[in-house]
Amino acid sequence: MTNALRLGIAGLGTVGTGVLDIVKRHAALLAARAGRPLQVTAVSARSKGKDRGHDLSALAWHDDPVALAKSADIDVFIELMGGDSGPAKVSVEAALAAGKHVVTANKALLAHHGVALAKAAEAKGVMLNFEAAVAGGIPVIKTLREGLAGNDVRRIFGILNGTCNYILTKMADEGRSFADVLAEAQKLGYAEADPTFDVGGFDTAHKLAILTSLAFGTQVNVDKIAIEGIEAITLEDIRNAAELGYKIKLLGVAVAHEGGVEQRVNPTLVPKNSPVSETDGVFNAVVIRGDFVGDLMLEGRGAGSHPTASAVVGDVVDIARGNARPVFGIPAKDLKPYVQAPQKAHEGGYYVALQLHDKPGAVAAVARILADEKISIESIVQRGTASNETRDTAPFILITHNTLEPSIRKAMAKIEKDGHVVGHPRVIRIERL
């Protein structure tokens, strides 16, 4: 057996300590599978004195991750600090420039700088692996980059954020409000003190941008993703969806059209018999549609110490085996410029919830505005009258046939201005998957 592959880990949080756990517990198994031992030789973190459940005294300690990245004592730099700039970016660039292989779980870094980093890695003849950056322990990167190499992938979608999926699942199963479940998720550590990155859809967008590049051979472009989070989803929406045969999930969707690529992140009504409808709690699911394989669904734990660390270690084993391939499946120089699909390609059905003034002509006025925008209605549900101190209103839910998003938005603006509704219409896209 050849010399050990020497690993340097920058960031000893939950994932970093998870990597230490796996390397220690499965040392013999990993050596057999990799063809050589894997040895952590150096680390870098914010606090040297913190107890991480491992004896680090025999490892070289670097206060500066850039120094670790350049160290002659490592072969692979494992970046687990996070962030799309600062120490993470500088240290990864330094490692690649020094001819070190890099493994990272940093989706933000790849979403914003993936193409440049891929070019740097390929110019140096080293690997840049990032299985852990998307969907935790689910091997979706390897599936797209290697397993489906014989397929023309035209569509990819999925649940890519466990925090949002946990919140929506709890709202549906326990009849609780968004605010109530979010507070619980924060208490359990599923959501950050500032949850905007998760519930606002930005985490999902970063992951979707990476998958889009792998699936369609385009340059990564997170800035072109239409993003909508789950903050406005109400318990009433959850219940209405259930009665109509749907569940609400936050989906990342990418579709390759003839005229360009469509990317979006939004709350979505999915049929109860669809591939992702039963993916609940903190689990993730990704569905890939290939021309020869059909629909392939991968489901599992999308975050957490050991699932994510498992993906990191898998990337390290690939490096030990010499399993080299282009970072995004094809050479970075050959990635096509990202072209946004024309608006006419963004077509789908919509769920619309309105609180109408309970008076003659209100429903007819809504129907007339929809007809003016050439939006046809698939079904209508009127819940009856609800009273409060100042006015009588009636909940009114409609499902549209496929239409263009600009049309539905224009119609909603007209309906709101027309004076027949109380508050703002709630609009959720429908995916008939």
Q: What is the pLDDT of residues 315-360, one digit of tens each?
A: 999 999 999 999 999 999 999 999 999 876 678 899 999 988 878 8
Dihedral (CA of 366, 368, 369, 371) sign: positive
Phi and psi for 195 in degrees, rounded to 5? -85, 5
d(CA 140, CA 332): 19
- Give dist(CA 321, CA 312) in Å, integer: 15
Top CATH class of 145-301 equals alpha beta
- Other Cβ atoms within 10 Å of 226 Cβ, number: 15
CB–CB of 271/264 below 8 Å? Answer: no
Per CATH, the number for 5-133 is 3.40.50.720
Q: Could you tell me the residue ranges of all domains in the chain?
A: 5-133, 145-301, 346-430
Encode pLDDT of 132-141 as tens digits. Answer: 999 999 999 9
359 is catalytic: no
Q: Which of 89, 100, 142, 207 is catalytic?
A: 207
pLDDT of residue 303 exceeding 90, the answer is no
The CATH class, in words, for 346-430 is alpha beta
Q: Would 5-133 and 346-430 be classified into the same CATH topology?
A: no
The tens digit of pLDDT for each residue in 371-406 reads: 999 999 998 887 655 444 445 788 889 999 999 988
Backbone angles phi, psi at 163, to 5 degrees: -60, -50
**Mean local confidence (pLDDT), 194-223:** 97
172: closest CA among 251, 230, 227?
Answer: 230
* pTM for the whole structure: 0.93
